[in-house]
């Protein structure tokens, strides 16, 4: 009889214990809130493009100095977001609205704010365009490609990658360097000259070798964008 009573009481005690402190996504208790809390107010445009799978997400995340992996993060949604990210460790240096992959590795940052060890921080970066192509355009093309492709009035291989021209010059457009292929073939990165140029050694014989131009993280993101339909 004693064993049966114990078996009834133990689940009850465990249930009561779960009410103490914040609850993690996996259902466990984190204990009392501690560290820094970031109160974020922003409007997100393009977040819905990441809903099809869990490879990438738009999030509010905190990072230690020099570390590309978030110590804590919370996903954001399309439209207006008013959200708090709590329990940020004291050694975290920066809060960011960013794209992270499933390992919580930073891919692109859209807005950032130093934490400076403060207990509560308000973060209001306004409206942010976070769609896949918008991210590639602003974070890759504008920083690594347009010097040769359009920004100086010269477009290598006839390819202009400035913001006003990039999408129309890429998606469904025949390649000028690989006969029979498209610069970007929606749904098939391996048959797209853009992906081949940055991910393989195919450009080694061109005027400029592209394969060391981008990080593996950025190459994977371009591949995902193309395979997802290149919207």
pLDDT digits (tens, 9 = 90+) for 103-142: 999 999 999 999 999 999 999 999 999 999 999 999 999 9
**pLDDT at residue 25, as a whole number:** 45
Task: Tell me if the pTM is above 0.85.
Answer: no
Higher pLDDT, 34 or 225: 225
The stretches of the chain forming alpha helices (DSSP H) are: 2-17, 132-136, 166-170, 193-199, 216-227
Pick from 133, 122, 138: nearest CA to 38: 122
Model confidence pLDDT, tens digit, residues 143-154:
999 889 987 888
DSSP state of 204: G
What's the CA dihedral at 31, 36, 41, 46 to 10 degrees?
A: -80
What is the Cα–Cα distance from 110 to 105, expressed in whole angstroms? Answer: 14
């Amino acid at each position: 009889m004693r064993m049966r009573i114990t078996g009834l009481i133990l689940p009850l005690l465990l249930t009561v214990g779960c009410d103490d402190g914040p609850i993690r996504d996996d259902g466990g208790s984190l204990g009392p809130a501690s560290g820094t809390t970031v109160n974020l107010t922003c409007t997100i445009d393009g977040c819905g493009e990441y809903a099809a799978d869990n490879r990438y997400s738009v999030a509010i995340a905190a990072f230690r100095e020099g570390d590309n992996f978030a110590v804590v993060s919370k996903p954001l949604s399309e439209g207006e977001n008013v959200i708090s990210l709590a329990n940020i460790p004291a050694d975290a240096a920066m809060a960011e609205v960013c794209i992270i992959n499933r390992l919580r590795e930073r891919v692109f940052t859209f807005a950032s704010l130093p934490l400076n060890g403060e207990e509560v921080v308000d973060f209001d970066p306004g409206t942010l365009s976070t769609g896949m192509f918008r991210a590639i355009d602003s974070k890759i093309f504008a920083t690594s490609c347009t010097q040769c492709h359009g920004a100086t009035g010269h477009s290598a291989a006839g390819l202009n990658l400035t913001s006003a021209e990039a999408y129309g010059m890429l998606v469904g457009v025949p390649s000028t360097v690989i006969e029979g292929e498209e610069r970007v073939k929606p749904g098939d990165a391996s048959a797209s000259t853009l992906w081949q140029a940055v991910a393989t050694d195919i450009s080694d014989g061109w005027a400029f070798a592209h394969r060391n131009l981008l990080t593996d993280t950025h190459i994977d993101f371009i591949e995902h964008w193309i395979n997802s339909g290149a919207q």
